[in-house]
Structure 1
Amino acid sequence: MTNTHHKDESSKSCTFQSVSQSSGIPRETVRRKVSILQNKGWVSRGSDGQLSVSLDAANALADETRHLLFQQNDAQAAIDAES
């Protein structure tokens, strides 16, 4: 998998600590999970400790996200049809 990272002004980055604080997930758990994502090439960690999501992650997840959205829309349509 090619690891393509694009940084621009709209890119957002964070740290283990900021993810932990905003999500309520323990920092060590965040570190372990991010390590898995780094191994997949989906997240990189800069020398300053900042985490960034790669385009590889977006590309890999795009089809699944689209599929889940269609499922959600189909489920909502079925609920609406029953009403």
Structure 2
Amino acid sequence: MTTPQTERPAAGSGADHVHGQRLLRNVALLLARYEVRKLRRTFEEFERDILLPILLGEIALHNLGELENGHEKSERGSPAEDDQPCDQRVLRPCNAYSIAAATGLPRETVRRKIVRLVELGWINRRHNGHLYISSDALSRFGEVLQSRELPELLAIADQARRLMAR
């Protein structure tokens, strides 16, 4: 006799479909709880302005995009001279226009938020308008990702796998 936790409906039955739907709902709830906790923390860490992390993330992803697959430019001089993030690697520049296009936000909104990110020291802006994530932002948010976000996400993934294996 099987226990209710290990009992599985017969393959191809309507009960099998219901079981699958319940399983997907439980996994979706796990992920939703994680996302809401993450959004709340992010909201507080970014002065209760949810657009700041979106824009910082877009700028960082744009800057670091070539490093993702081990591709690095050999040019010098892209990041601000006094702030060489990523072990002196050259980052791919972006500007307010490209970030507005990437996010779908109005350019003026993006421009205002970038001013705030510069004031916070998380973005460096060159005289030509090129934007780069600062080493302070990489350090601060990289540590958060490694110490809190990534382990929590991996734990949620493990929970989801255990649910799916039942």
Which category of TM-score, normalised to the shorter sequence, fits these structures? 0.7 to 0.9
Count residues in correspondence.
80
Q: 1:44 aligns with which of 117, 124, 133?
A: 124
Q: 1:69 aligns with which of 142, 150, 155?
A: 150
Q: What's the TM-score once normalised by structure 2's chain length?
A: 0.44
State how far apart, in whole Å, the 2-side matches of 1:70 and 1:28 are: 36
- Listed as ranges, the matches of 1:7-26 within 5 Å are 10-26=90-106
Distance 1:9 1:43, change over 3 A: same
Distance 1:75 1:28, change over 3 A: same
CA shift digits 1:39-64 (9 cap, x unpaired): 11111111111111111110011121
State how far apart, in whole Å, the 2-side matches of 1:70 and 1:23 are: 27
Greater relative contact order (CA < 8 Å, ≥ 6 in sequence): 1
Secondary structure of the 1:52 match is strand
Q: Please, which runs of 5 or more residues in structure 2 have no aligned partner?
A: 1-81
The offset of 1:9, in angstroms, is 5.9
Q: Please, which runs of 5 or more residues in structure 1 have no aligned partner?
A: none
1:31 aligns with 2:111: yes
State how far apart, in whole Å, the 2-side matches of 1:52 and 1:82 are: 41
Q: What's the TM-score once normalised by structure 1's chain length?
A: 0.84
Secondary structure of the 1:63 match is helix
Secondary structure of the 2:132 match is strand
RMSD: 1.7
Amino acid at match of 1:5: D
Amino acid at match of 1:52: Y
